[in-house]
Structure 1
Amino acid sequence: MTRKIFFYKYHGTGNDFILIDNRDFSFHIENNELIKHLCHRRFGIGADGLILLENTNKADFKMQYFNSDGNLSSMCGNGGRCIVAFAKYLGIIDNTTQFLAPDGMHSAELTPSGVALQMKDVSQIEQVGQDFYLDTGSPHYVKLIDSHENFDTVSEGQKIRYNNRFNKVGTNVNFVSVENNKIILSTYERGVEDETYSCGTGTVATAIVLGLLNGKEEQELHTKGGILKVSYTKKGEAFKNIILEGPVEQVFQGEILIKNRSKQL
């Protein structure tokens, strides 16, 4: 027995996702093995995660996000920006929207440079030695380093992600350096368990940490996949009106034939 799944492939600064129009709820979210298979870069389509667009009576649409390991996950900033562009492509929205995401309601706007997404407010920032830990829709550990030259993001990220504190639930790990007046950012993502070309919630977390240190309310960060901009307003100890902005691209669309070789698929 076989079946076809129609999908779209998007990326936001190299952070790539499979997007599926699931307004008819025909894609079953409990099929973790299928999601893992689709995200596999050798045996499937290949992506950092899979996103379902679904109907809701609370907003224009609902976002369901899964990591490439097949598990339902927390908020994804770049994924949020991609699904906004997807909703525009499907004719669900015009140039502005409100949608329901894993961490609650978000507003967003299509701009000449891509998509600008409003993120949740952040007020709790924990300092861990010289490092920082905060939640921007997903948990992030931010570490300042001297340089990214010859720096191994994967091995250094694993040391933190799998330490005694984070081993069970995991955390994303961001490394940031300032080189030639540019803010350079790399990210090790839980659920992907590898370095990704970009991470939206991680870019926001890093920009907030830098804002604590340099007082700036707007940061431009260079990831492996491109440039993301973050702006916010600091009110007391809280960061509000946080906007993540950057390019989004539909890479391709197609059908994948799923062969039920096992009960999992």
Structure 2
Amino acid sequence: MAEQFEKYHGTGNDFILLRGRGPRQVWSADHVAQACHRQLGIGADGLMVLWDSAEADFHLDYYNADGGLGSLCGNGSRCAVAYAYAHGLFVGSTCHFFAADGLHTAFRHENGLVTVEFAPAGRPVPQWEGFYLDTGSPHHIAMVAQVADIPVLQEGPALRYGPYAHQGGANINWISPTGPDGTWEIRTYERGVENETLSCGTGAVAAALTLHALKGCTSPVSLYARGGRLDIAFEVADQAYRDIQLTGPATHVYTGTWPW
């Protein structure tokens, strides 16, 4: 039976969003992958299912485009907050939701931006000619002269399936100081999508914290992905980071139906 879904994107990182019915359950990887297929389905970087929760405004399950249940998705979480507000799952500007890594607080702004708070994170660790940091999802960060020159579809899989294979892979990010007015640009190869995406929220957070640790960049840090700008605020405490916030747009694209 066909059910309604909505398409959103957060700085070009696009998602299928819909409500879960009945008890929370894991969806078929094949069905999710088919829906996310850009030629044979709806087309998306991932799929978000919002379930009822007795302890928060909703429980969010994120699926990668390959159909696998994913870890925290920063851009997708912002889109889920916008979707939840539009569907009456919360009122006002503040909501709380569960994701793969636990409880999150989020804020909806009148200008269309959404802020999602992250769990505390440690310092970036040197790894494989770059740095590793987990911000709810695992990320490799490499500083380069020009992100535009990086062969993402060659270097991304080599790292994702090479040195990080033992831990289920990692998302691979490159940053360079080539954005507007000397700001930083970022490109990301996402595991689960197995391609470059126009933006990655947890990757932007990992990059911002790495820039603070290595370059002394102060909060908030703005990063420019191919799909747009993301802003990351944070506090530093005891060789770690807390009060981490990711802010960016959450844009409704269209509403449709699909035979789930």
TM-score range, shorter chain: over 0.9
Per the TM alignment, residue 120 of structure 1 is displaced from its structure 2 partner at its CA by 1.1
Per the TM alignment, residue 235 of structure 1 is displaced from its structure 2 partner at its CA by 0.9
Please report the TM-score for the alignment, with normalisation by the length of structure 2.
0.94
Per the TM alignment, residue 218 of structure 1 is displaced from its structure 2 partner at its CA by 1.5
Q: Deviations over 1:18-57 (max 9, x none)?
A: 00111435x9633110000000000100000000000111
Q: What is aligned with 1:50? A: 47
Q: Deviations over 1:200-219 (max 9, x none)?
A: 00000000000102221220
Aligned 1:14-53 pairs, distance under 5 A: 14-25=12-23, 29-53=26-50
Q: What is aligned with 1:145? A: 144
The one-letter amino acid paired with 2:80 is: I
Give secondary structure in 2 for the equivalent of 1:158: helix
Whether the aligned pair in 2 keeps the contact of 1:51 and 1:65 (CA below 8 Å) is yes
Distance 1:65 1:165 in 2: 21
Q: What is aligned with 1:65? A: 62
Give secondary structure in 1 for the equivalent of 2:149: coil
Per the TM alignment, residue 116 of structure 1 is displaced from its structure 2 partner at its CA by 0.6
Distance 1:165 1:158 in 2: 10
Whether the aligned pair in 1 keeps the contact of 2:123 and 2:209 (CA below 8 Å) is no
Give secondary structure in 2 for the equivalent of 1:149: helix
Whether the aligned pair in 1 keeps the contact of 2:124 and 2:213 (CA below 8 Å) is no
Aligned 1:180-195 pairs, distance under 5 A: 181-195=182-196
Distance 1:23 1:234 in 2: 41
Per the TM alignment, residue 153 of structure 1 is displaced from its structure 2 partner at its CA by 1.5
Aligned 1:247-262 pairs, distance under 5 A: 247-257=249-259
Q: What is aligned with 1:5? A: 3
Larger displacement relative to structure 2 (126-135 or 106-115)? 126-135
Q: Deviations over 1:188-231 (max 9, x none)?
A: 00000000000000000000000102221220000000000001
- The match for 1:229 among 223, 228, 231 is 231
Q: What is aligned with 1:261? A: none
Unaligned ranges ≥5, structure 2: none
Whether the aligned pair in 1 keeps the contact of 2:169 and 2:191 (CA below 8 Å) is yes
Unaligned ranges ≥5, structure 1: 259-265
Q: What is aligned with 2:206? A: 205
**Identity over aligned pairs, percent:** 39
- The match for 1:245 among 247, 252, 256 is 247
1:181/1:240 Cα in 2 relative to 1: closer, same or farther (>3 Å)? same
Please report the TM-score for the alignment, with normalisation by the length of structure 1.
0.92
Instruction: Confirm whether residue 126 of structure 1 aligns to residue 125 of structure 2.
Output: yes
Moved over 6 A (4+): none
Q: What is aligned with 1:135? A: 134
Distance 1:42 1:226 in 2: 25
1:168/1:118 Cα in 2 relative to 1: closer, same or farther (>3 Å)? closer
